[in-house]
Amino acid sequence: MSRVPVITVDAAALRNNLAVVRRFASRARVIAAVKANAYGHGLIHAARALADADAFGVARVEEALSLRAAGIKHPIVVLEGAFDAAQLDAAAGHDLQLVVHCFEQIAMLEQHAKSHRFAVWLKLDTGMNRLGFRLEELASAHSRLAGCAAVGTLRLLTHLASAEDVGGAETKMQLERFRESSALLGLECSIANSAGIIGWPEAHAEWVRPGLMLYGASPFAERSAADLGLLPAMTFATRVIAVRNVAAGEAIGYNGIWRAQRRSRIAVVAVGYGDGYPRCMRAGAPALINGREASVVGRVSMDMTMLDATDLPNVAVGDEVTLWGRGLPAERVARYADTIAYELFCRIAERVRREEASGLTLRRIPS
Ligand SMILES: Cc1ncc(COP(=O)(O)O)c(C=O)c1O
């Protein structure tokens, strides 16, 4: 490890996790969600590792164009659709599939005077109340799209708000609404995100849209990724840069928010909020030193964090520290920052992007 911290993205883990998706939803085709720089894992690297997917899902046209520029030929679904006519032209030029979630987007398609026929995913809002046509708007949206010269294949999609609550009333209601509406149209459908794929087999439909589980994290508090056969794709690691002993009663770091209860050995590690490790990480958050668990103490600073290594023998400068990833699920760490693994991954997305471009410290494990 010449520079720290280092982000390792394991392509074999991504492939394993896609195979897990296929085991859960064996009859569905898979739109692999690679939006937000593949949840921070590096868009192109992740897409290449996930080449067995049937399609990729991105939030925005720009992300789809990056995939095309890298030579990715898969169908690409733009989950928020085109925002203006220029994006529509770009989408046509690169054969992107568009989600259409509002009447403004239908009007744009109606005004699109070119010969391209888009594959369109009509988005129905079954209860998330974020994007999509309301049930009472569906007939009108559908008939306009079905009659639009710029529209070729038409499919139907919705998004689940609470699928991680397996058996929960909210998802049951969403599925019921979707069933009632989609039955009339006879279109191919997509409903399930990761939690839907694992927890709601009745939501599999023709296409599933996994994100989180591809990256090896569990969407459920009570079921671990390992139990589901998922492998963490990203490991965020650094090194110990100093070790110091403090007496009982001494405070550690800014504002002295943590005080040693006993004589303690503190490992100072090279990671901080400047690297994407959350400043709000609470004392007690786990990290591994040489594979053994230590815990955060004191305030995370810009480029350093302190770990209580009192109970670990032989901790030394240069030892490897895992902040999350192999051996330490990001889902578990995220709870100490009042967040979810999705956000931890995305916090370091910008760093992954920069390093992917410079090729400096992003280590990749091809397979
Ligand atoms: C529309 C849509 N589909 C699928 C996904 C993937 O969800 P998950 O990462 O929970 O599997 C997302 C992610 O937020 C999404 O917004």
- Which of 293, 315, 297 is closest to 251 using CA atoms? 297
Average pLDDT for residues 78-107, to the nearest whole number? 97
Q: How far is the C-alpha of 21 from the C-alpha of 44, rounded, in Å?
A: 20
Catalytic residue among 123, 172, 215, 254: 254
Predicted confidence (pLDDT) per residue in 53-70, tens digit? 999 999 999 999 999 999
Confidence (pLDDT) at 360: 43
The answer to whether the CB of 212 is under 6 A from ligand 1 is: yes
Predicted confidence (pLDDT) per residue in 151-176, tens digit? 999 999 999 999 999 999 999 999 99
The answer to whether the CB of 211 is under 6 A from ligand 1 is: yes
Confidence of residue 357 (pLDDT cuts 50, 70, 90): low
Q: How far is the C-alpha of 74 from the C-alpha of 95, rounded, in Å?
A: 10
For residue 294, report the distance from its CA to the centre of ligand 1, in Å.
33
The reply to whether 172 belongs to the active site is no
Q: How many residues does the chain have?
A: 367
Whether residue 352 is predicted with pLDDT greater than 90 in this model: the reply is: no
> Which protein residue has the closest C-alpha to ligand 1 atom 14?
211
Predicted confidence (pLDDT) per residue in 236-279, tens digit? 999 999 999 999 999 999 999 999 999 999 999 999 999 999 99
The reply to whether 254 belongs to the active site is yes
Please tell me the pTM assigned to this model: 0.94
Q: Which helix (H) or strand (E) holds 23?
A: helix 11-24
For residue 165, report the distance from its CA to the centre of ligand 1, in Å.
15
For residue 193, report the distance from its CA to the centre of ligand 1, in Å.
5
β-strand partners of 97: 77
Q: Report residue 319 as tokens.
A: 């030892």
